[in-house]
Chain A
Amino acid sequence: MAEMWINMGPQHPMTHGLWNLRIKVDGETIVDAEPVVGYLHRGIEKLAEARTYTQVIPITDRLCYGASLAWSHLYCTAAEDLMGVEVPERAEYLRVAALEMQRIASHLMWLAAYAADLGAMIGFIYSMRDREVFIDLLQALTGSRITYNYPRIGGVAHDAPPDFARDSLRACDYMEKKLKEYEDLYEGSKVFMLRNEGVGILSKEDAMNLGITGPSLRGSGVKCDVRKDMPYSVYPEMDFEAASHPDGDCYSRYRVRMDEMYQSCKIIRQAVTKMPAGKWRVVAPRNGPVGTGIGRVEDPRGEGMMYIVGDGTDRPYRLKIRSPIFVSVSAAPKLLVGYKVADVVAIMGGLDMCIGETDR
């Protein structure tokens, strides 16, 4: 059969967002692939230049629908670095608890989409149901469900509601029980293992050379986690491990994300029990200094980085966002060539695509 190009996207069930994956197939085998991004470009970096430092926070929430809190937190750390603001300890603990809840919610959404991609609608429904627990907690904490607008430069917007610690501990217990259930559902299924083991293999060297970060990199056996390597916030005081798995295939990336959810439960428990009393916010100056600020965090999808240049006014002169998925998606040809058309959903789904942050 002659080779042909297939456009998977911009409107295609595989894409989870608005991007285009062009693949060249020979029958069912992929011989070439080319990701095309840019359909969702909103100019967030440019928008930030026209807003005051505080007004940028809600915009950075819109970077990723799955993990908006991680991005607004990243912006706040970068701005605090620029202004030299010390964050109160209670705010750091609140941030860490919220971030890890966001990580679980994001990974559960990934799991839902991944299961639906592989054909198991049951996984989609179950994951979305249990994601609701953490979304409810975040709603109690921040007041909204997707775009939280919670961190502030110099702390967080509100204190925790009453009984927040109790509810969080219960949610963690519930989640650990449900994670075991998911493991039974997926790893007990022969079909799931057939579709995942040995598919989309990314060697350690390739992963590092391509600049992939986050669970996809740790799935290739590299123990690289910004929370461990360049600790920020109160992560040094938390007892947890950076999950990694050596195989470098889709199953390995799945396993890393499942392990991360266990670790996140562990971190939430520590954060809400160790949380000290006190102030949760300090007043940050309205005008930033002349200089630069940088923030690096472990986003649920990889390493997010923001770089702010201040010019002494109340608006950032320049905001540069480094998106992990923008780098990961460029690995598509490396990952896809040689596999079947049906593996596209497993491989690209396994990277946990989020187009909001890719196109910015």
Chain B
Amino acid sequence: MNLYTFCYGLIHWLVDLVNNLWFWLGGHLPGALGGFFTWAGDLAKSDLNISFFAILLEVLIMVIIALINVLNFIWIDRKWMGRMFDFYGPYYVGYRIGGWLQNLADGIKLFVKEIIVPKKADRLGFLLGPVIFVASSVAALSTIQFSPQFGVLTSGVDTGVPAGVLIAFAFFAIAPFSILVTGWSSNNKFTLIGGLRSAAQMMSYEIPMLLVVASVFLLSGSFSFVGVVGAQHSVWFFIPLFIGFLVFLTCIVAEVEIQPFDLAEAEAELVEGWTTELPGFRFGLFMMTSYMRGYIGGALVVTLFLGGWQGPSLIPAELWFLIKAYLVFLVIEWMRWSNMRVRIDQLLNIGWKRLMPLAVINLLIAVALKTMGWF
């Protein structure tokens, strides 16, 4: 049984429960009214309807799991940062669970703040930008698969969504667009520079990243999560494609926009970058979503290079996946808190002059491995 069959069964049971009423009404009411209820019951019972709601339920489950993970991530990030910086990190709110509730407290604080739109801002862009950012990130999140059985699936067979990894990257790449829109529409010079920086950053780092992803697709011969992870059964891809692994990790850090590459929100020169004008919970959502993107990035690194959910069967596959994603996240945070910020021209130089050739070399290695017939 996988998540899809579970959700399908649950929705089916619910529909049957409610349909009792519809069909009872259809049998007892006269004429067209009774016919309407019978029609509604038939529609609700149809396979299309049930699978639609089953997939929605799956997405909901995945998002809830992701949100819990994001809360964990923020907490781990603060604690980890604290240990690196010689202090405790949050501990007061939720004293007995190591300050875990601090995130919720911060969220509530931001939630009750007033939403202010700057007078001369472009209202549509200013209000829509954050929505696009959060929505595209959640959409990318819903494509992540924890195991062949656990993820947003569309059938009872354990093959996953075809081209799932491609869809994940497609959704993942929308965010800089919304950053540009928000930055531009805020009518503030700092947010404008932040948004433009983000656009330049996206353009220069998307290409090497996708070249590396192409090499993984080449070796695995599949676009889906199950195919990519299944191909790493004998050896995880970070061993043959070590250059690609490093390039991909760097690009993910740049795409998620954290410390060495967080130029879009460089707080020293751009105040708070493109989020300068954002009020209250909109800012909170941005903060949360950037951690969510860190989580997606970690999950993608795990899927493409670290063998996904594979590991000794002592621990369930889903847990293996999460453990690896957390470890990747820790490494990213380590980089984040011990590094400084590069400058925009240096960032573009690193992207085009260093990562691009390395990604091409990595692709050639993948082609060579494939031609030799080793994969």
Contacts and interface: CB of A to CB of B under 8 A. Distances in A.
A116 to B, nearest CB: 7
B141 interface: no
Interface string A144-184: 00000000000000000000000000000000000000000
Contacts, number: 81
Contacts of B87: 125
A191 B341 contact: yes
Contacts of A334: none
B49 interface: no
Interface in B179-202: 189-190, 193, 197
B84 interface: yes
A3 B112 CA distance: 39
Given A120-B340, A129-B86, 20 more contacts: A6-B190, A13-B267, A13-B268, A25-B193, A28-B193, A118-B340, A118-B341, A119-B262, A119-B266, A119-B268, A120-B339, A122-B84, A125-B87, A191-B342, A194-B346, A195-B340, A340-B344, A341-B193, A341-B269, A342-B343
Interface of B: 81, 84-87, 189-190, 193, 197, 259-260, 262-263, 266-271, 337-346
A117 B339 contact: no
Contacts of B266: 119, 342
Nearest to A186: B340
Contact of B339 (A4, A8, A25, A119): A119
A12 interface: yes
A125 B85 contact: yes
Nearest to B87: A125
Given A4-B189, A191-B339, A344-B269, A122 B346 contact: no
Contacts of A195: 340-343, 346
Nearest to B338: A122
A12 B340 CA distance: 19
Contacts of A189: 338-340
Contact of A14 (B260, B268, B345): B268
A115 interface: yes
Contacts of A192: 340
The residue in B266, B269, B270, B340 that gathers the most chain A C-beta atoms within 10 A of its C-beta is B340
A345 interface: yes
B218 to A, nearest CB: 31
Interface in A316-360: 340-345
A249 B344 CA distance: 19
Contacts of B339: 119-120, 189, 191
B335 to A, nearest CB: 10
Given A120-B340, A125-B86, A191-B341, A345 B268 contact: yes
Nearest to A340: B343
